[in-house]
């Protein structure tokens, strides 16, 4: 197979679709890999490292797309990238199509592109191994993000997360006890904050409590969410519903009850966000203030640690990519229970993709 690794075009997207170590796995298996010039430079991977791994460097983005049967990306393609993709190509990426603009999905269907969403790939236990690797990074990073944006010079409340003798620590509320929420709780707890986690699944809360007994766990009812966010200094949204846009669980009314200059970090923004007031931001301008509350809503949080994120992503995704390049798509649809749910468009049809909704939160 001819595999293409383009340079990500989205603003502040520093990750890359495959590391040199990943490329070597495919070239040693007899596949041809084209890597766009400087595709991995932001993550610390040079063109020469890719050449040493057996790749061919392409000096134009459209050349990578034109020569590839399989395109491996991190971020969802932008419109000009979609125009470069040949009809019938296999596209793999963190596509998050449930929050995409309808015309983007329509382009995939019209060109009969086989789109495989990494975030929907399942393991034998029904979990999401590729998504989990990036969610863990995003969760761990929320503590350092919150510590920075709570500083007085950043417009925050001027509160030290862990407090100090005679001064209490910050109150941190985490909505969701999955991979992102659990790793956020670990990071905040490690910095000395007082952490409260809410989830609709008592089993998830039980696992978190077993792992971190000092974290307060509460079932996520509307009343409990409203009460918890009202006393919080930091609220982390770590909610996910596979294949669907994230449900809004914090209303504007709840937000208005929060303390002035409190901070919300919406890790769910990739799929629309779980705060009614969330809208996507960038690493260059990561925050805005709505109703007196600071909002941090960057979709690709793990891009800030691009090298770690790329290595973690490759570790999790390579076995599934190998399945895709070594087997006909028809066979994967018929018998591969891990990849089949992730094939969201195929042969001009919308598959395994819940109906998207349009609106101001639809992402590019």
Instruction: Assess whether 171 and 275 both reside in one domain.
Output: yes
Q: Which residues contact 126 (CB under 8 A, 6 or more apart)?
A: none
DSSP code string of 31-43: -EEEEETTTTGGG
How many domains are contained in the chain?
Answer: 2
* Within a domain: 346: yes
* Within a domain: 178: yes
pLDDT at position 355: 47
- Domain containing 143 equals 132-299
CATH of the domain at 232: 3.40.50.720
pLDDT at position 349: 87
* Within a domain: 159: yes
Q: Which residues contact 184 (CB under 8 A, 6 or more apart)?
A: 139, 140, 142, 143, 174, 236, 238, 267
Instruction: Assess whether 144 and 226 both reside in one domain.
Output: yes
Instruction: Assess whether 252 and 105 both reside in one domain.
Output: no
pLDDT means over runs of 10, the chain (364 residues): 95 94 96 97 97 96 94 92 94 86 86 94 91 95 97 95 96 96 97 97 96 97 97 96 85 96 96 94 95 95 95 96 95 94 91 51 43
pLDDT at position 361: 41
Query: 291: which 2 tokens?
Result: 């109703």
Residue 354 CB coordination number (10 Å): 14
H/E element, 331: helix 329-335
* Within a domain: 363: no
Q: Please give the Cα distance from 253 to 218 (Å, whole number).
A: 21
Instruction: Assess whether 274 and 329 both reside in one domain.
Output: no
* Within a domain: 264: yes
Instruction: Assess whether 14 and 112 both reside in one domain.
Output: yes
Going 324 to 1 to 310 to 99, the CA torsion angle's sign is: negative
Query: Tokens 């983005």 label which residue?
Result: 61
Instruction: Assess whether 77 and 55 both reside in one domain.
Output: yes
Instruction: Assess whether 106 and 202 both reside in one domain.
Output: no
pLDDT at position 352: 67
* Within a domain: 360: no
Instruction: Assess whether 56 and 172 both reside in one domain.
Output: no
Residues 275, 248: contact at Cβ < 8 Å? yes
**Whole-structure pTM value:** 0.90
Q: Please give the Cα distance from 237 to 332 (Å, whole number).
A: 34
Going 27 to 31 to 35 to 40, the CA torsion angle's sign is: negative
57-96: string of b/e by CB count within 10 Å (b at 16+)? ebeebebbbeebebbbbbbbbeeebbebbeeebbbbbbbb
């Amino acid at each position: 197979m001819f595999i293409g690794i383009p340079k990500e075009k989205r603003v502040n997207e520093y990750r890359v679709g495959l590391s040199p170590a990943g490329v070597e796995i495919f070239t040693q298996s007899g596949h041809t890999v084209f890597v766009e010039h400087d595709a991995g430079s932001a993550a610390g991977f040079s063109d020469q490292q890719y050449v040493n791994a057996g790749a061919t460097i392409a000096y134009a983005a459209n050349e990578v797309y034109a020569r590839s049967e399989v395109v491996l990306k991190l971020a969802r393609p932008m419109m000009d990238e979609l125009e470069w993709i040949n009809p019938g190509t296999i596209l793999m990426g963190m596509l998050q199509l449930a929050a995409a603009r309808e015309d983007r999905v329509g382009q995939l269907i019209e060109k009969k592109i086989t789109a495989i969403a990494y975030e929907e790939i399942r393991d034998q236990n029904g979990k999401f191994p590729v998504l989990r690797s990036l969610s863990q990074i995003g969760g761990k990073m929320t503590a350092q993000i919150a510590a920075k944006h709570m500083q007085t010079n950043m417009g925050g409340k001027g509160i030290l997360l862990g407090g100090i003798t005679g001064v209490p620590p910050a109150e941190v509320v985490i909505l969701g006890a999955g991979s992102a929420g659990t790793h956020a709780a670990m990071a905040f707890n490690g910095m000395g904050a007082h952490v409260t986690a809410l989830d609709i699944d008592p089993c998830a809360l039980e696992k978190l409590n077993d792992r971190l007994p000092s974290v307060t766990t509460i079932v996520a009812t509307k009343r409990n969410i409203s009460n918890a966010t009202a006393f919080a200094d930091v609220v982390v949204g770590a909610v996910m519903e596979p294949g669907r846009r994230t449900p809004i669980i914090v209303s504007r009314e709840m937000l208005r009850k929060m303390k002035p200059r409190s901070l919300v970090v919406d890790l769910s923004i990739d799929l629309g966000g779980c705060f009614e007031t969330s809208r996507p931001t960038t690493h260059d301008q990561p925050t805005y203030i709505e109703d007196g509350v600071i909002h941090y809503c960057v979709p690709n949080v793990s891009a800030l640690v691009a090298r770690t994120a790329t290595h973690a992503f490759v570790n999790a995704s390579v076995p599934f990519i190998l399945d895709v390049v070594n087997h006909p798509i028809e066979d994967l649809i018929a018998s591969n229970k891990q990849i089949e749910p992730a094939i969201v468009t195929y042969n001009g049809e919308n598959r395994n993709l819940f109906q998207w909704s349009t609106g101001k939160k639809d992402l590019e």
